[in-house]
Structure 1
Amino acid sequence: MNTNSSLRVLLIGATGYIGGAVGRALEAAGHTVVPLAREAPEGGRTEPARRDAVIGDLTDTTSLRAAVTPDIDAVVHAGAPLGDWAADTDAVTALLDRMRPDGAFVYVSGTWVLGPSTGGDLLDEDSPAHPISIVAGREAVEHAVLTSSARGAVVRAGVVHGRGGGIPRLMVDWAREHGHGRFVAASVAPSWAVVHVEDLADLVVLAVGRAPGGTVLHAVAETSVPVVQISRAADDAAGGAGRAVPWRVGDASAALGPAFAEALALNQHVSGARARRIGWRPTRPTLLDDLREGSYAARPSVARPA
Structure 2
Amino acid sequence: MKVLLIGATGYLGSAVADSLTEAGHQVVELARPGDDRPGQGRERRVGDLTDPRSLTQAVTSDIDAVINMATPSGDAETDAAAVAALTEPLRGTGKVFLYTSGVWVLGATGPDPADENAPTNPVPIVGYRPTIERQVLATAEDGVRALVIRPGIVHGRGGGIPALLVNLAREHAAPRFVGEEAVRWPMVHVDDLADLFVVAVERAPAGTLWHGVTEPAVAVHDLASAAGRAAGVSAEPRGWPLDQASETLGAAFADALTLDQSVSGDAARDKLGWSPRREGAVADLLEGSYR
- The TM-score with structure 2 as length reference comes to 0.95
The verdict on how the C-alpha distance between 1:247 and 1:47 changes in structure 2, with shifts beyond 3 A counting, is closer
> What amino acid is the match of 1:74?
A
Which of residues 51, 55, 59 is equivalent to 1:64?
Answer: 55
Matches within 5 A, 1:163-242: 163-186=157-180, 189-241=182-234
Q: Does 1:46 align with 2:36?
A: yes
Q: Which residue of 2 aligns with 1:31?
A: 25
Question: Is the Cα–Cα contact under 8 Å of residues 28 and 42 in structure 2 kept in the other structure?
Answer: no
Q: 1:107 — aligned with what?
A: 99
The question of whether the paired residues in 2 share the 8 Å contact of 1:221 and 1:272 is answered with yes
What are the ranges of 5 or more consecutive residues in structure 2 without an aligned counterpart? none
**How much has 1:51 moved relative to structure 2?**
5.4
SS at match of 2:165: helix
1:82-121 to 2 correspondences below 5 Å? 82-100=73-91, 101-118=93-110, 120-121=111-112
> Identity percentage over the alignment?
50
| Amino acid in the other structure paired with 1:117 | T
Q: Is the 8 A contact 1:37 1:48 kept in 2?
A: no
Shift of 1:48: 5.7
Q: What letter is aligned with 1:201? A: A
Residue aligning to 1:248: 241
Query: Does the CA-based 8 Å contact 1:234-1:242 persist in structure 2?
Result: no
Report the Cα distance in structure 2 between the residues aligned to 1:136 and 1:21, rounded to whole angstroms.
26
Give the whole-Å Cα distance in 2 for the aligned partners of 1:215 and 1:16.
25
How far apart in 2 are the matches of 1:106 and 1:172? Answer: 31
CA-atom RMSD in angstroms? 1.3
Please say if residues 86 and 137 of structure 1, whose CA atoms lie closer than 8 Å, have aligned partners that are also in contact: no
The list of structure 1 runs, each at least 4 consecutive aligned residues, that deviate by more than 4 angstroms after superposition, is none
Match of 1:78 among 69, 73, 91: 69
Residue by residue over 1:148-205, the C-alpha shift from the partner in whole angstroms, topping out at 9 and shown as x without a partner, is: 020011010000010000110011001011111000014x721000101111100000
Deviation, structure 1 residue 88: 1.3
**Letter of the aligned partner of 1:15 in structure 2?**
T
Any unmatched runs of 5+ in structure 1? Answer: 1-6, 298-306
In 1, Cα distance between the equivalents of 2:80 and 2:15? 24
Give matches, 1:288-303, under 5 Å: 288-297=282-291
Alignment of 1:131-150 (within 5 A): 131-148=122-139, 149=142, 150=144
